[in-house]
Amino acid sequence: MTPRGKIFMFVFGGLSCLLDGVLSGLSAVTEQRHTQSLNGKWSLSNSNGSVSLPAEVPGSVHSALQQQGYIQDPYFRFNDASYRWIAFENWTYTTTFTVSAHLRGQQKVLLVFDGVDTVASVSLRGVLVGKTDNMFRRYDFSVRELLKDEDNVLEVTLLSPVFYASEQRKAHSAYSVPPECPPEVQKGECHVNFIRKEQSSFSWDWGPSFPTVGLWKEVRLEAFDVLHLIQASSVSLYNDSLSRWRVQVDLVVDAVQTTNCQITLSIPELDSEQSFQTQFFPGRSKNTFVLQINTGFQVKLWWPNGHGDQPFYHMTVKGFEDGLSILTTESKVYFRTVELVQEPIVGSPGLSFYFRINGKPVFLKGSNWIPAHAFQDQVTPAVLKNLLQSAVDANMNALRVWGGGVYEQDLFYSLCDELGIMVWQDFMFACAMYPAEDEYIQTVREEVIQQVQRLKSHPSVIIWSGNNENEAALATNWFHIPASQRPIYIKDYVMLYVNNIRKIVQEEDQSRPFLVSSPTNGAESEQEGWVAANPYDPHYGDTHFYSYGSDCWDWRTFPRTRFASEYGFQSWPSFSTLQPVSIQEDWSYDSNFTCHRQHHQAGNPQMLMQAAIHFHLPNSTDPLKRFTDTLYITQVAQAQCVKTQTEFYRRSRSEIIDGKGHTMGALYWQLNDIWQAPSWSSIEFGGKWKMLHYFARNFFAPVLPVGFEDNDTLFIYAVSDLNQDLKLRTVVTVYTWTDLDPVCTRKSDLVLVPAGSALAVFKQPVSTILDGCGHCTRLTCLLTFHLEDASSVQQGPTNHHFLCSPKEAQGLLRPNITAKVQEDKTSFSITLHSDSVAPFVWLDVGNIPGKFSFNGFLMVSRNVTVTFNPWRTTSVTELTKSLTITSLMDVY
């Protein structure tokens, strides 16, 4: 907590800001801005006073109740249903604080809330000072005249979000704004589209219903005599015709009176500095200044992960009035350009859809990000760092921040800047129609302005998108809107996303593209009045595609789209993740718990039906083993499904077939989990990698061999994201299911693989490959393959191709894998020995956090060494005791 009357450093967007103080050796100044934190211990009570307890701010009611022992872990068993009452209560946060005479003596004192969740009345010393209705906005209220030296009682009374949403729905009597309620399987609350809060907090098909209440971000007093910097942001812009960079700096200030000021922008490393005379008028204003970068310097560019480094420069902004410093900020500035290219393609109807970063086409590889916890106050820096590092470790370069969650905290975007993760940023609207009344539009407008100003400094953010799936919902009539009423909803849609959100974004940020929705036909949707007849048209824009009934090993079932921004399959998390929130009676696939935890209609049987296409289902007579084996088989099926689909998208980047192709993005659904439950994620709640995430590390590799069959012919493509051309050959190795010694090997000639392309490098009928390979048949043999250069050095991972479903394989034996654990300097090595070929070898060390160098692999050699990097201190003894090894034949 910052002592009263001291200088306070704070972070806005990508900018570290200091007003009227000292930073990086800059001189002290006469005018001082004073900040007093009001974070810490508050008291919390419900409306009738029957519940009263201490509560941390920032925080939430659920977290406070758990911390004080009023409730158990909300994630335990059926507690999401048991604790519904919390969101039906009104809650009041109260604190009492003292204020120095010096702070009160400033010309203006603001009470600032960085985030209120959600609908609240704010009173100071018994006087109402303001109201809030939007979780995604920063609010401040002028309170100078109300403050005394001591006994300043601050009360924030929050209304039940469920009741508020219901009342707003009732007040909207002219026509309905669907959906009324979520599907029954989600066990959620109704009318979430009538309240500006995290939409998934009322439930989703992967998450619980915990309609949160609280002061979820910081609270403070800010006092000043001259002016106050509310937000500072910068974007780098490149002039092609002049071959010159400039940095546009926006300062949003609150001035007490008209202030004549000299603003100086400086980037010393680029020998670039400019000064401007300006006036700040009383009240709030946005002021824009442009620094032209010295053309004598070669600017270092920010690149996505796998395409280069992420360098930055230091920029200072200083403000002087009559020679006295009144404003100083320092920031990181990054230089990169982004273009969304939508243009005709030779041999194909429609338009391209791809991103060009610094003039280079980049294939986006990654996933979709959902809130990391139901209670945002429990999303720690460690959680964010672990998840984002895991994304990079799996060769991802992009994440889509999905529109039903929250605009993530500053640290998330700063880490993405540092790690080279491109961010597709949705605005927080998802799977619904929304009101278009003036009051609603006004709070959304302020939300969008604040969020764009906060986030636009981050080079990682490469695109804004207005909503998740709302164009598709309108176009394909999810909500059964009568044709006669359709124009009303289209009008509201255009009013919200085009006339307001799009217009604001284009005014605030000229440095990156904007899409109205996802999926969308992009430029074609615009031509069709913003709602295309078929937003899923693979000839345009991006697509979302899910199909649970088809055979996911058959690449023909997937759309050959320009850009795949959502696709995926469910699996269950591991037993060690479920165990802390369940008890023994829950540990079967048809228990009340497993049914309750599944929020996707028919999700549990769908997983087994998909698995049963290619695998025998686990059949142990031991109930616990059968349950854990079933968890395993759902992860195997998910990993293979998403692998097949992603590899299809990656090999489609360079070709047009039947007018479709040039796929330039694959973002599977979803990266992370919000709780311990079945979902589409590749990382479990708590950070443990599912088998899918280990597969992703391979199928997103910079150089990748992709194999598939068409008319009994095996094709192998070389996919390269590299900046340089490669000469590669394919090496195909044939094994029997029984024997670890290869039967034979086939090699292709060297082929030139251009930079940034996918190219067929091997084509041969399967019968030809098997001829002369002992007595191999489709049922008795399998293939592995890899790419190598002219020096026989392997490039990229080894891949596999099954010639039949594993359940039909002949000769597949229980491999009897043994393991020896040894400690290295910073990790542990696990040496495995197998008696026979073992598909989907899975190492699990229970609740010891960490990751393996590879996992879920096909073992075709007698000995394999896997490295385990723990995320906490452990030992050979603990690892050996915790280690379990499962392969496909171990579950029968």
Residues 691 and 630: their CA atoms lie apart, in Å, by 14
Looking at 89, 471, 566, 647, which residue is catalytic? 566
Of the chain, the end-to-end C-alpha distance in Å amounts to 58
In tens, the pLDDT along 335-358 reads 999 999 999 999 899 999 999 999
Q: What is the pLDDT of residue 9?
A: 28
Tokens for 752, please give them. Answer: 């030139």
Residues 134 and 195: their CA atoms lie apart, in Å, by 7
- Is 447 one of the annotated active-site residues of the chain? no
Q: What is the pLDDT of residue 1?
A: 41
Helix (H) or strand (E) holding 9: none
Query: Read out DSSP for 558-602?
Result: S---S-EEEE---BPPPHHHHGGG--GGG-STTSHHHHHH--STT
Q: In what order do the strands lie in the sheet with 324-333?
A: 10-12, 15-18, 324-333, 313-321, 259-267, 272-280
In tens, the pLDDT along 411-463 reads 999 999 999 999 999 999 999 999 999 999 999 999 999 999 999 999 999 99
DSSP structure class, residue 184: G
User: 11, 41, 57, 39: which is closest to 409 by C-alpha?
Assistant: 11
Q: In what order do the strands lie in the sheet with 127-133?
A: 52-57, 40-46, 91-97, 152-158, 119-124, 127-133
Backbone conformation region of residue 593, classed left if phi is above 0, alpha if psi is from -120 to 50, else beta: alpha
Q: What is the pLDDT of residue 772?
A: 85
- Whole-model pTM: value is 0.95
CB 886 within 8 A of CB 814: no
Q: What is the pLDDT of residue 774?
A: 85
Question: Token match 């849609």: residue?
Answer: 493
Supply φ then ψ for residue 158, to 5 degrees. -105, 130
Helix ranges restricted to H, 431-555: 438-455, 470-475, 486-493, 503-508, 523-527
CB 648 within 8 A of CB 637: no
At 85 the three-state DSSP class reads helix
Question: Token match 């009611």: residue?
Answer: 61
Burial class (CB in 10 A: 0-12, 13-18, 19+), 494: middle
DSSP structure class, residue 93: E
In tens, the pLDDT along 647-656 reads 999 999 999 9
Tokens for 822, please give them. Answer: 């040894």
Helix (H) or strand (E) holding 638: helix 623-651
Looking at 469, 471, 647, 684, which residue is catalytic? 469
Q: What is the pLDDT of residue 33?
A: 72
| Residues in the chain with pLDDT values less than 50 | 1-32
CA distances from residue 69 to 44, 51, 62, 492 in whole angstroms, order as listed: 14, 12, 11, 46
How many residues are recorded in the chain?
A: 892
Residue 362: CA atoms inside 13 Å, Cβ hemisphere, count? 26
Q: What is the pLDDT of residue 20?
A: 33
Pairing of strands 828-833, 863-870: antiparallel
CB 500 within 8 A of CB 448: yes
Residues 678 and 676: their CA atoms lie apart, in Å, by 7
Residues 153 and 127: their CA atoms lie apart, in Å, by 10
Contacts of 892 (CB under 8 A, 6+ apart): 616, 618, 619
Residues 357 and 863: their CA atoms lie apart, in Å, by 43
- Is 273 one of the annotated active-site residues of the chain? no
User: 723, 784, 717, 722: which is closest to 751 by C-alpha?
Assistant: 717
Tokens for 388, please give them. Answer: 């984002």
CB 422 within 8 A of CB 398: yes
